[in-house]
Structure 1
Amino acid sequence: MKIAIAGASGRMGRMLIEAVIAAPDAQLFAALDRAGSDSIGTDATAFLGKNSGVLIASDLAALDGADVIIDFTRPEGTLEHLKACQAYGVNMIIGTTGFDEAGRAAVAAASEKIAIVSAYNMSVGVNLVFKLLEIAAGVLNQGYDVEIVEMHHKHKVDAPSGTAIAMGEAVTKAWDKALKDVAVWSREGITGERQDGTIGFAALRGGDVIGDHTVVFAGAGERVEVTHKASNRTIYAQGSLRAARFLAGKTAGHFNMKDVLGLN
């Protein structure tokens, strides 16, 4: 697989580059970063003390000839890459979060021309948790209040996390409801009693926490909690490679990690 990496000089970009060069079935084909970055023109694996021969570039023409790009950047950057991928026939793995409705629509439209795996979280474990939550919500659908608590590092710019939102969607899928109709995004002041059938969200930010998520089903006399804690970003890189392998040979379509893992 000829793989391009977006955001090549960032923490996640470097983790992805390291995973790609270690994979026997993958080749680092291109590395991208924003124009003006100090990394432009440097070797993509210099941080590992190695020379790959792949120089970090800002010109999206570097994508020409790649099989797939893995993109964990920001919505505005990902949408620019989306346009280039359609032009060059490059499939996409999108781990970027924080898209607005128009951004999500653009990704969906592009999937008619290229194959895309997009997910709030590329971790294999997290996507298994999504499935467990569907099961739990189907059983604990009467007499249980649902709250979702997540914590991330202090540099994260969106809240609640995309993974927390996806966990809420897993619960409401089992309830046959839309998350937007039952979500309580914040609480402040005299809020009154908790309304049945709602899902409360709490977002914590601090330190270097990679990602902790807990969904609480609180009933009378018992509480069930489903938790996932990430201790290393390599889980996202390995999940992304699994998604890239899934897309091999596909020319169009919009998929998620449950498709990749056979959980749908």
Structure 2
Amino acid sequence: MTDVVIIGAKGRMGATLVRLTQESEELNLAAVMERSGCEDGLDSLGCVCGTDAKEVLTRVPGAVIVDFTSPQATLNLLDTAAITGNPVVIGTTGFTPEQIEKIKEYACKIPVFMAPNMSVGINVLLKMLPQLVQMLGPAYDLEMTEIHHNKKVDAPSGTALKLAECLAQARGLVYDEVKKHGRDGIVGARTKDEIGVMAVRGGDVVGDHTVYFLGPGERIEVTHRAHTRETFAQGALRAAGWLSACKPGKIYSMSDMF
């Protein structure tokens, strides 16, 4: 049985992770954490709880941390986990390239698993989309839309960026050189290589991503819709169980686990 630590246990994703961990026969809820001032009620979960990472993690050696918070909060957590030796599953998105490099440094000290989207379906798409790109050829323009709830703070979503990077690589392009995150004003005709990603925010949408292959006389649309956060939570907890047997040295991903 794998011991698990849930960060942000009272948030939407955190609460889902707590419930699924408690229901699992393969996982044990060893500890939960929340921000200072938000910890009321955590002691009712019957596990180690608190707001100070070092204090909590030293009480649960070896427990795998599952974190869906914010980039800076995740980096602060990794700093402590690197000292206590706890593996970390990262579901947080919105990292800068510099922050990703920092995570790579931590991954040399402790096992780290990171995926912008933990769903099985999205990761199957990442395997299939390059085949479509190559089979359809350069006559088809590549565009994408993504929709998320009105509380999401980063745009485009981490999942959209991962999908778009996958499309660019299949074309032999560098995504940062061809990306168009929204268009406004007199932008001119679409260039041959650009990949547009449009972000829509509203309501309580868990996550919709549609990739468009727009060709002469036809188009193909590939859509993934997440109906519940349990999709991501189940993937993250599956990763936690898998990561518990891994060694430091790289940032592990869904493809490694599959």
For the criterion TM > 0.5, the same-fold answer is yes
Tell me what 1:30 maps to: 31
Tell me what 2:188 maps to: 192
1:156-175 deviations in Å (ceiling 9; x for gaps)? 11111110000001111212
DSSP-derived class of the 2:154 partner: coil
* 8 Å CA contact retained: 1:30, 1:66: no
* 8 Å CA contact retained: 1:41, 1:57: no
2:59 corresponds to 1:59 = no
2:256 corresponds to 1:259 = yes
1:133-156 deviations in Å (ceiling 9; x for gaps)? 122122223100011100001111
* 8 Å CA contact retained: 1:41, 1:55: no
Tell me what 1:47 maps to: none
DSSP-derived class of the 2:45 partner: coil
Structure 1 gap ranges (5+): 45-50
Q: Which amino acid aligns with 1:90?
A: N
* 8 Å CA contact retained: 1:67, 1:91: yes
Tell me what 1:104 maps to: 100
Task: State how far apart, in whole Å, the 1-side matches of 2:74 and 2:127 are.
Answer: 27
Task: State how far apart, in whole Å, the 1-side matches of 2:113 and 2:255 are.
Answer: 10
2:41 corresponds to 1:42 = yes
1:171-198 deviations in Å (ceiling 9; x for gaps)? 1121222110111112111111111111
TM-score normalized by structure 1?
A: 0.92
Displacement of 1:55 in angstroms is: 5.0
Tell me what 2:130 maps to: 134
Displacement of 1:41 in angstroms is: 4.8
* 8 Å CA contact retained: 2:27, 2:241: no
Decide which of 131, 153, 163 is 2:159's aligned counterpart.
Answer: 163
User: What are the residue-to-residue correspondences of 1:1-264 with 2, within 5 Å?
Assistant: 1-37=2-38, 40-43=39-42, 51-60=44-53, 61-64=55-58, 65-252=61-248, 253-261=250-258
Task: State how far apart, in whole Å, the 2-side matches of 1:163 and 1:218 are.
Answer: 21
Displacement of 1:199 in angstroms is: 0.3
Displacement of 1:108 in angstroms is: 0.7
Q: Which amino acid aligns with 1:254?
A: I
Task: State how far apart, in whole Å, the 2-side matches of 1:149 and 1:250 are.
Answer: 35
Q: Which amino acid aligns with 1:255?
A: Y
Task: State how far apart, in whole Å, the 1-side matches of 2:240 and 2:174 are.
Answer: 30
Q: Percent same amino acid among aligned pairs?
A: 40
Task: State how far apart, in whole Å, the 2-side matches of 1:239 and 1:204 are.
Answer: 25
* 8 Å CA contact retained: 1:42, 1:55: no
* 8 Å CA contact retained: 1:68, 1:91: yes
* 8 Å CA contact retained: 2:139, 2:216: yes
Task: State how far apart, in whole Å, the 2-side matches of 1:36 and 1:77 are.
Answer: 16
Structure 2 gap ranges (5+): none
Q: Which amino acid aligns with 2:257?
A: V
Q: Which amino acid aligns with 1:210?
A: V
Segments of 4+ in structure 1 off by > 6 A?
none
* 8 Å CA contact retained: 1:42, 1:56: no
